[in-house]
Structures are given as structure tokens and as C-alpha cells.
Amino acid sequence: MRAAGMRRPSFGPITDSPAGRGERWFSRPQIIRVTFVWNVSQVTVATYVPGGTGHKGTVCLCLFVSNARPGRAAALPRAATLSRVRVILLRAPGYWLARTPLKGFPITRSVVLAPTTLAWITRLIACDTTSRNSNQELIDVIDAELRGQGLEPVLVPNSDGTKANLVVTIPAHDGSTTGGVMLAGHTDVVPVDGQSWSSDPFIAEVRENRLYGRGAADMKAFSGVILALLPEFLARPLAMPLHLAWTYDEEVGCHGAITLLADLAARGIRPDICVVGEPTSMRAVSAHKSSHLYRVSFTGLASHSSNTPNGVNAIEYAARAIAFIRSIADEHRVNGPFDASFEVPYTTINVGTISGGAAVNMVAERCDFEFEFRAIPGVSTAAIFSRIEDFLLGELRTAMRAEHATADVSFAPIGAVPALSAAGTGAALQLVHDLTGTSSEETVGYGTEGGLFQLAGIDTVVCGPGSIRQGHTANEYIDLAQISACEDFMRALARHLAHQH
């Protein structure tokens, strides 16, 4: 289908803008038929016609593809005159796709993605790796790709074989496999339960220059870029090895990273530097808080609510425990210690889940809750734990058993993530600064596997595409510009690793 007054030319070149700021514009009007657009649901094909002084021109919408499939396309000609238009370009073999929201605003930059990046991210998002599920499907996909590239990945399963880490080393040109740089990412994602999504969370969609899907920001885009740009590393003789690591169960306690590190130690592999690709908007994060998760279980004695003295109410004792835990949180909020480099500059404690009781007319026999505390570096987490433990297993247990000898309370850790300290991020931080061309150094309140890697003697920094503000949310997304920035980072790393050869 042709727009009125336009003939169908060949697909012309893209030229730098007169402004000379790295922007790219189409050089002339185009009409293009697209028969396959990866696995995204909505793509607008457009061209920009420069208009001289002031760079005013016309954006001609040539094609609108909805739920694109091989062999299916539809044309919808429209035109709009704008003063400036931001255009994001998705490159694929044989054609260019330009996306624009059709609103006038200043151009910042164009984004040209590698041919397979979106396809890889889409494929990874399609694997439902919610932490309660197995991650084996995704691991098998990565394993097959790496073996197809001539590499020999190692799988490190969990205790029951339902999940696995994957680690692979691209040796240096002299065959060495120790030292070098490790890129680390987790495969699991948080649940979508109870969230209201505008699209299927496990089918990636590109809308308004953003890629939507569970794990898009946290953190499958990072993994997708690695896989898409793997040939960049394999095409060069490396002066030092590159290690790629994917873990399970990061979202529920970083259990996979512990077994991964044990495997690396057993095989005599210890990278010098690790970059954890959690979403930081491609800025270097040198420190984060520790995270400690606990489950508390109360066992009371059931009875009819008309005769409460015959029972022991587990919910009421749990409420006393929660109030005590909150009092410790309040102490840290008011009295510190403080670290002004963090957005929340003190240690926090949060009770996140609770369940108990069977009916409103029964004294509750059971109550369980889970809580976590996130401590700034330098705070004694053992002291916090000891205070809570003494109260639960001392004062509360004594009071419960005074009501009935069988009543009890138990207190167990379910996960811990050590803090990442800025004191130990010298070489890693410098590397990220060199690769990104920035000098920023930030801290974050959330935990990562970086603290574990640092404790193992690997100089570690956190840097990855996307924003943590989009992670874990309904309609989680990552800006395409962030994916492009991550590609730039990977290409710079490939050059760096080969530089000394």
C-alpha cells in the first residue's frame, strides 16, 4: 500500500543529522513492507525527512505491524509535521525499523541495536523462571548457544537437580583460564502474582521505545546482550580470560551464587574482577547494604474463642514479636548509625509476610511471619540477630510456656546476602569507569550477589542496564536506550580484554 503522493523507492541510507550530535535520520521518504519483526507485538516503521534550517521536517508513518508474524504485514500511511522527533532504530538483516511515539520533543540520540539482541531478550523472557519454578529451560537455551559457539559450559545443579547455575570461560589466547573478568547475572525473576499487567508478562513487547516483560530490567536484558554480542569476544584473541556466570535463586537468598563459587574454587578458577549486571542505569555501584531474611513460627494451643484461657494465641505472640522488631527498626531510624551515601541512610527492618489462624471464633494455634533487615556496611548484623533471638527464645517462649507447656516459638534464617563494600572495589570500579567513560560511584539499598563474590576475593562492582525502579513491578520494562548502552559496554570490554595482545 502506498501513501498518497509517494512512490515506492528502494530502502535508502541513514545519514548523520546536520546538528552533528550523533543523531541519525533517514535521508528520504520510504515505504517498506516488513514480513517479520522478531517477536514484538507492535512496530511502527517511519522515516524522517530533513527540512533545512531548524531541522523541521516530516515524519511519514509508512507501516504499522500488529502481532507481527512471518508473512504478515499491514500498511497504514499517515503523516505528521514535527519540529524534532526522537527515533529509535531496530536493526535486522535487510531492513531498518524506526520507532517514534509521534510527539514532538528534542532528539537526544538514536539507538541502533545489534541484530539479535531483542530476539535473545525476548527468548529469555519467554522462559518463566519465577524463583519457585525450575530455571532449567533457560539454562538449556544458554547452554545450547554456548556449545554451538564452540565453548564448554559447566552446569552446577542445586541439591535436588531442579535448578542449575551455568558458568563458562573463554580462555585467553595463551589458554589461561584464571584471572580476567567475570560477568554475572541471575536467571530467576520475582512472581507476577497479584499484579495487573497490560500484556502477557512472559511475552516481550516493545512499546514507546521500551521493552516490557518480567525480567526485562531485572535482569534478562543484561543476559540477552551478552549472548547477542558473544561473537565480539570470540572474534578477538583475548589477553585475559572472560568468565560468564548465570545463577539460580538470587531473588530468594542468593543460594545459587554460593554453589557457583564453590565450583569455581574446586576447579581453581578465580576471576580478578566481577561485574554484576543488576539494573543500575549503566552506572557503577560500589556498595550496597546486606540483606538477612528470617522466618519466625509460633505454635500455640487451639481452643474455642469463648474460652480463651484454655488456649495459647499464636497470633498475639507473633504480634508482640513484630512490635519488638519494629522497635529495633525505629532505633536505627532515629539514632543510626548513618551512611549518607545511601538513599535510606540507615539500617532498615521490614516484616513482609504473615499467616495464621483458622477462624475468627478460634484461638489461633499457628502463626508464621517472615522479616528481613538490610544493614549498611559496618553495622553488626550479629548484634541485631542476637537481640531478636534473645527476645523470641527467651522472654516470649517463657511467657508462652507459662500458659501451656507445649507452646513454642522457632526462629530460623532463610537467606543472607552480605554487603558490598566500596573499600574493596578498586580495580573493578576503575574498569567500569574506563568502559563507560564516566566517573560516577553510587550506592544502593538493595542486595546483590556482589557481596558474596567480594567475600570470595573477587574485586566486584555492580553495573547493568535498566532501573531498579522498574524491577519487580507490574509492566516491568527497560528503555531501549539502556540496552544500547549495555551493548556499548560489552563492545568496550571486548576491546579491553584483547588490548594487550
Q: What integer pLDDT is reported at residue 111 of this predicted model?
A: 52
- Segment 352-371 shows an average pLDDT of 97
Active-site residue (options: 128, 250, 365, 487): 250
pLDDT of residue 416: 86
300 and 312 in contact (C-beta within 8 Å)? yes
Given a cut of 60, whether residue 25 has pLDDT beyond it is no
User: Strand ranges (DSSP E) for 171-306?
Assistant: 181-186, 205-207, 210-212, 242-247, 273-276, 285-288, 290-299, 303-304
pLDDT tens for 73-131 read 333 223 322 223 333 333 333 333 333 333 332 333 345 688 899 999 999 999 999 99
- What per-residue confidence (pLDDT) applies to 112? 65
Convert 345-396 into a string of H (helix), E (strand) and C (coil). Answer: CCCEEEEEEEEECCCCCEECCEEEEEEEEEECCCCCHHHHHHHHHHHHHHHH
Indicate if the pLDDT at residue 188 is higher than 70.
Answer: yes
Dist. CA 384–CA 388, nearest whole Å: 7
Q: What structural domains does the chain harbor?
A: 14-110 (no CATH), 117-288+419-498 (3.40.630.10), 290-417 (3.30.70.360)
Q: Are 122 and 138 in contact (CB under 8 A)?
A: no
- Separation between Cα atoms, residue 154 and residue 351, nearest integer Å: 38
Rg (CA), the chain: 27
pLDDT, averaged across the chain = 81
Give the range among 261-270, 345-354, 374-383 with minimum mean pLDDT: 374-383
Residues 347/374, Cβ–Cβ less than 8 Å? yes
Our answer to whether residue 408 is catalytic in this structure is no
Candidates 143, 188, 218, 251; catalytic one: 188
**In this predicted structure, what is the pLDDT of residue 72?**
32
At 282, is the pLDDT very low, low, confident or very high (cuts 50, 70, 90)?
A: very high
Q: What pTM was computed for the model?
A: 0.74
pLDDT band for 209, please (50, 70, 90 cuts): confident
Least confident of 83-92, 276-285, 290-299, 457-466: 83-92
Q: Flag whether pLDDT at 185 surpasses 60.
A: yes
Q: What is the pLDDT of residue 267?
A: 96
Mean pLDDT, residues 299-304 taken together: 97
Q: Which amino acid is at 259?
A: T
Peptide bond into 6 cis (omega under 30): no
8 A C-beta contact, residue 110 and residue 96: no
One-letter amino acid at 235 equals A
For 458, the grid coordinates are 573477587
Percent of the chain with pLDDT over 70: 77
Point out the least confidently predicted range of 99-103, 153-157, 190-194, 324-328: 99-103
- 140 among known catalytic residues: no
Q: In whole angstroms, give the CA distance from residue 18 to residue 57.
A: 13
